[in-house]
Amino acid sequence: MIDISRPLTPGHPTWPGDAPFRLEAGGRIARGDSVNTGELRTSTHTGTHVDAPWHYADAAPRLGEVGLEVYLGRCRVLRVEAPAGLVGPDALAPLPGTLPPRLLLHTGQPAHWAEFPAAFAALDPAFVREAARRGVRLIGTDSPSVDPLTSKTLDAHHACLGAGILILEGLNLSAVPDGEYDLVCLPLPLVEADGAPARAVLLPAGTLPTGDPA
């Protein structure tokens, strides 16, 4: 099992303007309480997280309306380059015409972010459409977003919406070789939310039952 989630440690950076990540003490046995507890505050898009379509379209489903099936099953990890800042459809040229339903993109982000990355590889909408044509229903990336930091139009997000592709961002793929795996990604069940932090792991391909529902 390979854990591809980003550890949420004190000071973990969040998207500029989002609520900072804070885990503060609640009860403490050392202070006379019966148990240790904590109080958590953060953005729904902290670290490794999923985007519900409602995050970028008001009429689209919220997280509680998105089934878990697309987050579980065969995936392909692919190292890609973005010389001009965007991963283009040519990145898929060496791959078969039909891909697993889940495509995880290793763009070169490090395992730990001391500061929020201002420069990262985003996706060309043409890449999204070509991935969908090959059967992809979930795109994951080690970048914090599929769109550039300064984007206001969110072209890649909307291309995903139009193609029926869900989005998983902020993965840690720094130690993962290219190839096929089984993905298990479980976002927090925040029913009315626009997204949620997730725990994501890779298993050897074929570990999960056959018959991919996505």
- pLDDT tens digits for 86-118? 999 999 999 999 999 999 999 999 999 999 998
| Domain 2-7+44-203 CATH assignment equals 2.40.50.140 | no
Active site residues: 55
Which residues belong to the annotated binding site? 15, 45, 49, 51, 157, 169
The percentage of residues in the chain with a pLDDT greater than 90, rounded to a whole number, is 95
Q: Provide CB contacts within 8 A for 20, sequence distance 6+.
A: 14, 41, 42
pLDDT for the residue numbered 214: 58
The residue with tokens 């300064």 is: 150
When pLDDT is averaged across residues 35-44 and rounded to a whole number, the result is 96
Alpha carbon separation from 45 to 20, 79, 131, 134, 160 (Å, rounded) = 11, 23, 24, 28, 17
Given a cut of 80, whether residue 210 has pLDDT beyond it is no
Residues 114-168: pLDDT tens digits?
Answer: 999 989 999 999 999 999 999 999 999 999 999 999 999 999 999 999 999 999 9
* 209: DSSP letter: P
pLDDT band (50, 70, 90) for residue 27: very high
Q: How far apart are CA 85 and CA 150, in angstroms?
A: 12
Q: Tell me the domain boundaries of the chain.
A: 2-7+44-203
Given a cut of 90, whether residue 80 has pLDDT beyond it is yes
Q: Are 14 and 132 in contact (CB under 8 A)?
A: no
* 71: DSSP letter: G
Q: What are the φ/ψ torsions at residue 54 (nearest 5 degrees)? A: -65, -20
The residue with tokens 């999960």 is: 208
Q: How far apart are CA 185 and CA 200, in angstroms?
A: 4
First-last CA distance in the chain: 22
- Helix (H) or strand (E) run with residue 127 in it: helix 125-133
In 3D space, the residue among 136, 148, 63 whose CA is nearest the CA of residue 100 turns out to be 136
Which residues belong to the annotated binding site for Zn(2+)? 45, 49, 51, 157, 169
Given a cut of 60, whether residue 213 has pLDDT beyond it is no
Maximum distance among all Cα pairs of the chain, rounded to whole angstroms: 62
pLDDT for the residue numbered 209: 87
pTM equals 0.95
